[in-house]
Amino acid sequence: MGKSQGVTLLELLVTLAVLGIALTIAALNLRPLYDPLSDAVSRTEGYLKQVRAKAMATTSAYRVSVNGNRLEAAYAGTCRSPSFTPDPALQMELPQGVSAALTPGGAALCFTSRGLLMLLNGGSYTGEPILTLRDTPGRSKALKLLLGGGVVRQ
């Protein structure tokens, strides 16, 4: 009888192990594909939707302040209240190297108990506010904040 042709179980397992190690190394090399700016846009969009939902769920007004690379939420009875209480559960820090700026400058966002957006300290600004996110290389992406409470990427 002649020698049988084929692959033994041991050879198959060794081949799969080597292939698994090679794929793991390749996956680790994909890490540089992480984009902090795109991550910040997605996280900020979700954060604003979460703050709006919390305002409606608790029938409170929620103010969102933009401080460099940090978004902070505070609540009160209405958007016109003189003082707001910080909500420690709704604080968000942007990825390193990404900062946020709100147009109009110096303004704050406030979601009413019905989920509508009001602009506080916006002066005579009549448009919808825009939150611009910038990274260290100078790239930027913007989120348009609709007065009905929606958030749209631009």
Amino acid at the residue 5: Q
Displacement of CA 45 from its chain's centroid (Å)? 5
Residue 96's pLDDT is what? 92
Q: Is 61 within the bounds of a domain? A: yes
Q: What pLDDT, in 10s, does the model give residues 23-77? A: 988 877 776 678 899 999 999 999 999 999 999 999 999 999 998 889 999 999 9
Question: What phi and psi values does residue 133 have, to the nearest 5 degrees?
Answer: -110, 130
Q: Which residues contact 18 (CB under 8 A, 6 or more apart)?
A: none
Q: Is 67 within the bounds of a domain? A: yes
Q: What pLDDT, in 10s, does the model give residues 95-134? A: 999 999 998 888 889 999 999 999 888 777 778 999 999 9
| Rounded-to-integer distance, Cα 144 and Cα 153, Å | 6
**CATH number assigned to the domain comprising residue 149:** 3.55.40.10
Largest CA distance in the chain: 95
- The number of domains in the chain is 1
Please tell me whether the overall predicted TM-score, pTM, comes out greater than 0.75 for this model: yes
